[in-house]
Each structure stands twice: as C-alpha cells, then as structure tokens.
C-alpha cells in the first residue's frame, strides 16, 4: 500500500501537466483565430503582399501576380459560421467579374498551426478554392499572416509561401 501512495503525487502531477498542455493547445487556436479574424463577432481583412514558390524542389522564385489580384481583400469573420470571403479590390482582372470572387468557411486546427478553408470559387481570382488543401500557418500576429502549402500533381510538386498584411 505504501508504494502505491508514493506514486500518487507523480500521477497527480502527470494529470495536471496533461490538462495544462491541452488547455495551451486550445488556447493557441483561440489566439490565432483572434489574430486571423478578430475578436468574437468581428472580422479582419488581409491583402496579399508577396509570394514565392518552387517547383519539384528547385530554387525558390518570386511569384508575380497582376495588380488586379494583389488588391483583393480576404476577410475572415470570427462568428459561429467562421465565414471567409475574397473580394475584388479597386481593380478587376475581368470587368465582368462579380465583386465577391470566393466565399466559404475557415477553421484552425487545435494547435493553431494549420488553416483549413472550404471555399467556392465565384470567378477566376480565387485563392483557397484553388489550393484545396490544408495550409500551414508559418506566422500570424496582429500585422502579418504568412501561409505555406505544398501540393503534388502526378510527379510534379509545388511549394508556395504567401505573405499577407492586415488592412483593418
């Protein structure tokens, strides 16, 4: 009986340590969700600042987008639906495009390090509906959002890194 009693403090410590780590993980998703979309009931908007990519493990190169794509506004809303939309900025690539080019919902994994976006494309200037894969959050704070993803298509692999700046 005495050996079992001596294990009690260790078991208690492990239970507390395990529950703290789960709370910290949940806290990371809540914190990153607030950075991405603002406080509960609010939204936050982002604009693409720069992008780089590599093909089949080759050298990383800048990706040059048309101005009509760079001024698009990606907005994430922190509500029950966790809405997302991509709106045309001041310029449109196609005059006939609607103002809203993509819409859907977003979620972060419990550790706050992977962004999942289920979006439908409304016109050709979409972002997340094109990717259609989990996206790694490499940096997220009140001013900057950095995302990265890799996809394979047959024997070809692509890696893309994106930097967004907060606009509201």
Q: Are the C-beta atoms of residues 81 and 43 closer than 8 Å to each other?
A: no
Domain that holds residue 71: 2-166
In the predicted model, what is the mean pLDDT of residues 70-88? 95
- The pLDDT of residue 26 is 56
Q: How far apart are CA 58 and CA 68, in angstroms?
A: 28
Q: Write out pLDDT tens, residues 108-150.
A: 999 999 999 998 887 766 788 878 789 999 999 999 999 999 9
- How is 127-165 classified by DSSP, letter by letter? SHHHH-S-EEEEEESSSEEEEEEEEEETTEEEEEEEEEE
- The pLDDT of residue 13 is 36
The number of distinct structural domains making up the chain is 1
- Residue 7: pLDDT band (50, 70, 90) is very low
Q: Write out pLDDT tens, residues 54-70.
A: 999 999 999 999 998 89
CATH of the domain at 123: 2.40.128
pLDDT at 102 over 70: yes
Q: Are the C-beta atoms of residues 84 and 131 closer than 8 Å to each other?
A: no
């Amino acid at each position: 009986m005495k050996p079992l009693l001596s294990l009690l403090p260790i078991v208690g410590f492990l239970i507390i340590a395990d529950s703290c780590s789960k709370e910290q993980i949940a806290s990371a998703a809540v914190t990153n969700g607030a950075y991405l979309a603002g406080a509960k009931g609010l939204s936050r908007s982002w604009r693409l600042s720069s992008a780089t990519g590599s093909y089949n493990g080759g050298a990383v190169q800048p990706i040059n987008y048309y101005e009509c794509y760079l001024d698009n506004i990606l907005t994430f809303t922190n509500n029950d639906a966790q809405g997302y939309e991509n709106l045309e900025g001041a310029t449109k690539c196609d005059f006939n495009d609607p103002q809203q080019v993509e819409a859907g919902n977003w979620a972060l994994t419990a550790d706050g390090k992977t962004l999942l976006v289920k979006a439908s494309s409304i016109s050709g200037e979409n972002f997340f509906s094109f990717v259609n894969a989990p996206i790694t959050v490499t940096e997220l704070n009140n001013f900057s959002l950095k995302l990265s993803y890799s996809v394979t298509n047959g024997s070809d692999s692509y890696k893309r890194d994106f930097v967004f700046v907060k606009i509201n």
